[in-house]
Amino acid sequence: MTDDLGAAVYLDRPVRRVVSLVPSLTEAVAVSRPEVLVAATDWCTYPAELDVERVRGTKNPNVRRIIELAPDLVLCNQEENRRIDVERLRDAGIPVWVTRIETLHEGFASLRRLFTEALNGSVPDWLVEAEISWAAPTPELPRNTVIPIWRNPWMVVGRNTFTGDLAAHLGLRLVHADRAERYPHVSENELTRDVELVLLPDEPYVFTRSDGPDAFPGLPVALIEGRSLTWYGPSLATARETLTRQIAEAFIA
């Protein structure tokens, strides 16, 4: 079979030992197939009770230890993990399944393939619920929105990103999506130009009530859970309802 990038992946059946180097995929497997997950990164914080070996971060995994664990499959993502680590694992004979997810529907398709093809199981209930939730019509009057992901310097969500596509399904138009970079740096003057709504997630930068809204005086600001906006996993089943409510509250505040 092939992963999302078209790379051949040769698997012995059944897959009993999985290492995940992607936090959202870790949660997806931990919720749906917990018996197969043996290790994850330090950044894999969901579910809260997750108790597996840790193999450092997404950009600096302990490749030697992963090889020693002899997993049947390692899960990676094109954006979150480094090609060199994927190649080192494959050179050691470890099967690696790399996902590529830049849109909401790519996320649904990729997750379905992961569970039905790579893990040779059924589609999780939460994935079906998520697909139903996001099938609802998109609001017809999009709001010009900015979604910062870092401060000092300011970085924002731009084009060709999962987060940007998810935002579009909420009826939001990213004002910086016309730039070449997927996560452009912007000046303070550019940050609020033509903006009608600000979404401040709690990751990767931890925006709070005292750190973030101060840069957007007079604009509606929604402090949101980053996981609902950026993770492709079980959170997608409730993300639309959660984010819609938080955005509405920003206009009332």
- Given a cut of 90, whether residue 121 has pLDDT beyond it is yes
Mean pLDDT of the chain: 95
How many helices, marked H, and strands, marked E, lie in the chain?
9, 11
- Given a cut of 90, whether residue 12 has pLDDT beyond it is no
- Give the model confidence (pLDDT) of 23-37 as tens digits: 999 999 999 999 999
Which residue has 């596509």 as its token pair? 165
pLDDT of residue 43: 95
Instruction: Please give the tally of structural domains in the chain.
Output: 2
Q: Verify that 152 and 58 share a domain, yes or no.
A: no
Residue 228 neighbours by CB under 8 Å, 6+ apart? 235, 238, 239, 242, 243
How confident is residue 222, by pLDDT bands cut at 50, 70 and 90?
very high
Average pLDDT over residues 81-98: 98
149: containing domain: 143-252
Judge contact between 96 and 119, C-beta under 8 A. Answer: no
CATH at 99:
3.40.50.1980
Judge contact between 25 and 37, C-beta under 8 A. Answer: no
pLDDT of residue 138: 85
| Assigned domain for 48 exists | yes
d(CA 164, CA 103): 8
- Given a cut of 90, whether residue 141 has pLDDT beyond it is no
- Given a cut of 90, whether residue 216 has pLDDT beyond it is yes
| Assigned domain for 44 exists | yes
d(CA 40, CA 62): 10
**Could you tell me the pTM of the whole model?**
0.93
Provide the strand spans (E) within the chain: 18-20, 37-40, 53-54, 73-77, 96-99, 143-146, 148-150, 155-156, 172-174, 197-201, 221-224
Q: Verify that 172 and 237 share a domain, yes or no.
A: yes
